[in-house]
Structure 1
Amino acid sequence: MKAVHGQQQTSVEDPPERSAKPDRLFDREDEWEALMAFAGDPHPGVGLGVVMGRPRQGKTLLMESVAQATGGFYFCGQQATEAESLRRVGEEYACYRRVAQPSHWRDWKECLDTLLALGDTRPLPVVIDSFPDLVAASPALPSVIHGALRHRDRAPLKNRARLLLGGETAPVMTRLFASSSPLRALAALKLDIQPLDFRAAAQLWGIDDPRLAFLVYTVVGGTPAYRHDYVGDDVPVDSDDFDAWVCRTVLNPCTPLFHEARHLLDEETGPWDRGACHSVLAALARGCTTHGEIATFLGQQLTDASRALSLLRDHGLLQSQTDGLQPGITRHHIADPLLAFEHAVARPRRAALEQSDAETVWEDARTDFNTRVAGPRFAQVCRDWAARFADWATPGSDHGTASYGSLSDPSAAAGLDAEVVVRQGDDHMRGPLLSVGLARWHTGMDIHHLQHLRRVLDALGSREDLSRARPALYGASGFSPDLHAANARGEVMLVDLERLYRGAQGVLRK
């Protein structure tokens, strides 16, 4: 991250010229509107806003653009002593005010009082980015901010500074703005900048072919920075070019994307539990989804594995979800597709990549890619679609959840699993069951898959209301004629890649 340095900024006396979202900001319309509304709020009194998110999601670009569009002040912290940070912000302030002599503040209180005074004449954002880096050197800074905001909330309420604090989704930001935090109580705005969903990612990369869009998403996910900065604007031409694209980007040591997954983990977790975190991610990439399975893979006790799991979860690298059919089971999966690709494909073959060409390594890795990366990611995309885009024709079901579900069945060697269990409402177990589904990336689906879902529903019949529950099959490699006939009779919903990416939102009625 960088501070706005050497760029022309509008001074505090100048009115903002325009507020249109810059073209370089892809998507993020809702976030932009929320930030612009906060920055221009005319009501008296200092406002506090928080912008959080994983690295490379565009937080800095978003906040820089808001500051530039409104004539606000922007400063980006970095790892440094308190004295150096105060000196840097003083230099930025002098540049902003177009004065020759930098300000020299003794402490953060003096600094904040001066910065917040910029809002004495009109609503004006004061942006402090990479906030956790400043807190690391100045642990009292949150208390200083709290005191400054409370002091300026007292009459006369003329000041309209809008203090925006930005930082990555890490324990520092989570702790500072938890529900019980004094700063959280004062925050009028809290934005969590998430990666783009699979549909928006396809638009970002300019890919119209759903299969190719999914394959690229499986490697790089919805992180905006990877589209331009990390692959040099290299986009696969078509599905036939995908293999070559993998070899010349994520498996090419000359590109930043090749090193990004390791840098991302090091950046997020620090040096203390790095090895354990890599091993947990390797376990997840091999299909270990429960706490016990991961501990067994690591050769550790449950308590020992918990620390790495918690660390990855706190940094947004791991997502945990209650099993959709058994509430006593929690399942984990890797949140970032690039980390999943790294630990299933690239990391086990680092030595081979140094000794052989990428094409040979990728040919050897294709089976692992399909089973350990594309398959699980396709199931997650299907869950995302079911929760966000599908219409289940059920009153009040605008908001739903989708998760993996499993049942024990002594007569079935592999149990009764369903990759897409959809429930109405926010709770994975208490909401009415709307659908159970199977997701298959590399395998065509036939009537046996529908029969499997019927067995799952039969097993649930004694303990759940199934009046709204419908079977659904999600497939990327086609459906048999029998399934198409069952779909025509309303017995099953079939969802292919076309429907996932741009088809009409499907409704399955009873």
Structure 2
Amino acid sequence: MDKPSRIFGRVREWEGLAAFATRSTEATAGAASLGVVSGRRRQGKSFLLQSMAEAAGGMYFAATEATETESLRLFTEALARHTREFIEAPFPDWNDAIARMFHSFRDRPGMVVIDEFPFLSKASPALPSIIQRELGPGGSGRPSSARLVLCGSAMSVMGGLLAGQAPLRGRASLELVVQPFRHRESAEFWGITDPRLAVLVNAVVGGTPAYRYEFTGGDAPATIDDFDAWVMRTALNPQTPLFREARYLLAEEAAIRDPALYHSVLAAIAGGNKTNGGIASFIGRKSDQITHPLNVLEDCALIAREPDLLRPGRAQYRIVEPLITFYEAIMRKRWAELEIHRAEQVWTSARQTFLTQVVGPHFEALCRAFALESGEALFPEQPSEVGSGTVNDPASRTQIEIDVVALSAQESNNPRRILSLGEVKWGEVIGHHHLQRLATARDLLRPKGYDTEATVLALYGGAGFTAELTAAAATDDRILLVDLNRLYS
């Protein structure tokens, strides 16, 4: 099935869904198949699945927040419309509904999409177990040609469907997570060709497709000079949906019971407090008191715990959704002013904070993503891990923070190869002293048991490089300079 032209990108996602929808009954031994599609809100999951159901001639049912009785009535009507079968009365419970659904697709191959599945499972907690039973031996899913897809945005709920001792664990033959667009794809989607402008816009809205049209009315900055005005007329404008979106992203997660605490945790991370102890100190709690909210935010895919690749046992937290970082660092403290349309005054005083607390860390994340995606062309081999790290420097009694660490796959009885150590600077011209810091870190890691023989010293610059450094890189293939054009090439 060809992907419709109205869907931007999502080639791999479409191919995965198409393969699932068209899988032969021989391949599944005549039984129904289960797929699970998840992803953070506003990523276009529903649009993608509606298009796939349409192309496959399948059934699409979007659940709503409703009681079990009303949901069953709506599902009965949707099934009757699609199959053109007469169903005398709404199903009394999900036992009958799921059994009838699989039976209806016994002789006709078909895709059945149940979107916003967490709404149904919240009102009917037994539903996953019912589906598991019907998919198993003796259930109505054997024989059946149904290709059932469960989709939802509540990441804590969807992640739990197939985890641990969950009823559906081991039942799904498709597990698809719809991610935000990567930085290059996002720039293309926004129609931005200036890489500097692309980074700035990405630092505000990330790669979430819905923010391009639905939340900004199709308003995109025309040039780098238009960026400040664009921020004020979209993200800082109380008349646009984007203005309150960061608050809603948190409020929509059912697992978050105390929004004030979670906003404080996010504010701590956005302010540069990335360790467990630093976050706890910022919000005035003990470290063990914030373990639960950190785990909840991680389960909701709003933050990520990123290990220090050079110091096992240590980790830092990073906010995954750029709009939340922007809200916590810029908007939350000045909310009252923004609500009375004082965007210009707020932005004038907060712009420097935006560059240091929002763009700087976001640019580092983009560079790590670039190193992982393009590593085979940059380093001696494709990295198995890319992250950040810290190296102790006993001579100066300091720590050297490495923004981009690229490691090879671990091999038994051999030291771990460090493919690259990288320094990232957004607003500072990178010079020879930055290169020397990386060289010092490389030399300190060698006696710790790492293989640094072919380590590439990479410098990622948003403001360019000195002539001396450029000349050095031209004659040494172990010095890599990555500017904005290369980042987006």
Normalized against structure 1, the TM-score is what? 0.90
Distance 1:273 1:426 in 2: 41
Alpha carbons of 1:318 and 1:488: their partners in 2 closer, same or farther (altered >3 Å)?
same
Q: Which residue of 2 aligns with 1:336?
A: 321
Q: Which residue of 2 aligns with 1:121?
A: 107
Of 379, 382, 404, the residue aligned with 2:388 is 404
Of 20, 23, 27, the residue aligned with 2:5 is 23
Pairwise CA distance, 1:304? 0.8
Q: Which residue of 2 aligns with 1:385?
A: 370
Native 8 Å contact 2:371 2:378 kept in 1: no
What RMSD in Å do the two structures reach over aligned CA positions? Answer: 2.1
Distance 2:62 2:415 in 1: 44
- Map 1:298-317 → 2, pairs under 5 A: 298-317=283-302
Distance 2:460 2:36 in 1: 38
Q: Deviations over 1:196-240 (max 9, x none)?
A: 111111111111111111111010000011111000000110101
Distance 2:474 2:42 in 1: 44
Letter in 2 for 1:80: A
Pairwise CA distance, 1:415? 2.0
- Map 1:128-277 → 2, pairs under 5 A: 128-151=114-137, 158-178=143-163, 180-268=165-253, 272-277=257-262
Distance 2:389 2:470 in 1: 25
Distance 1:23 1:431 in 2: 45
Pairwise CA distance, 1:409? 2.7
**Is 2:312 the partner of 1:327?**
yes
**Is 2:474 the partner of 1:488?**
yes
Aligned length: 481
Letter in 1 for 2:40: R
Pairwise CA distance, 1:413? 6.8
Alpha carbons of 1:79 and 1:313: their partners in 2 closer, same or farther (altered >3 Å)?
same
Distance 2:159 2:37 in 1: 11
Q: Deviations over 1:382-435 (max 9, x none)?
A: 00000112325667x3353211111233554752111001112389x9852111
**Is 2:448 the partner of 1:466?**
no
Q: Which residue of 2 aligns with 1:506?
A: none
Pairwise CA distance, 1:347? 1.0
Distance 2:445 2:298 in 1: 31
266-275 or 437-446, which deviates more: 266-275
360-369 or 246-255, which deviates more: 360-369
Of 37, 49, 59, the residue aligned with 2:35 is 49
Q: Deviations over 1:43-76 (max 9, x none)?
A: 2221111101111111111111111111111111
**Is 2:477 the partner of 1:497?**
no
Native 8 Å contact 1:91 1:102 kept in 2: no
Pairwise CA distance, 1:300? 0.6
Alpha carbons of 1:298 and 1:393: their partners in 2 closer, same or farther (altered >3 Å)?
closer
Pairwise CA distance, 1:357? 2.5
Alpha carbons of 1:228 and 1:413: their partners in 2 closer, same or farther (altered >3 Å)?
farther
Of 32, 43, 66, the residue aligned with 1:80 is 66
SS in 2 for 1:184: coil
Distance 1:360 1:393 in 2: 43
Distance 2:54 2:198 in 1: 33
Q: Which residue of 2 aligns with 1:9?
A: none
Native 8 Å contact 2:64 2:116 kept in 1: yes
Pairwise CA distance, 1:119? 2.1
Distance 1:77 1:54 in 2: 17
Native 8 Å contact 2:203 2:359 kept in 1: yes
Distance 1:48 1:100 in 2: 26
Distance 1:473 1:70 in 2: 48
Native 8 Å contact 2:80 2:86 kept in 1: yes
Alpha carbons of 1:496 and 1:70: their partners in 2 closer, same or farther (altered >3 Å)?
same
Letter in 1 for 2:90: H
Q: Which residue of 2 aligns with 1:4?
A: none
Of 286, 290, 294, the residue aligned with 2:271 is 286
Letter in 2 for 1:120: R
Percent identity of equivalent pairs: 43
Q: Which residue of 2 aligns with 1:418?
A: 402
The 4+ residue runs of structure 1 with deviation greater than 3 A are 97-103, 151-155, 179-182, 392-395, 410-414
Q: Which residue of 1 aligns with 2:76?
A: 90
Pairwise CA distance, 1:192? 0.8
Letter in 1 for 2:423: L
Q: Deviations over 1:78-125 (max 9, x none)?
A: 222111110111122232234686641111111112211232223211
Letter in 2 for 1:285: A
SS in 1 for 2:375: coil
SS in 1 for 2:4: coil
Distance 2:410 2:238 in 1: 43
Distance 1:392 1:467 in 2: 18
SS in 2 for 1:185: coil
Native 8 Å contact 1:86 1:108 kept in 2: yes
Alpha carbons of 1:392 and 1:423: their partners in 2 closer, same or farther (altered >3 Å)?
farther
Pairwise CA distance, 1:270? 5.2
Pairwise CA distance, 1:353? 1.9
Distance 1:99 1:180 in 2: 36
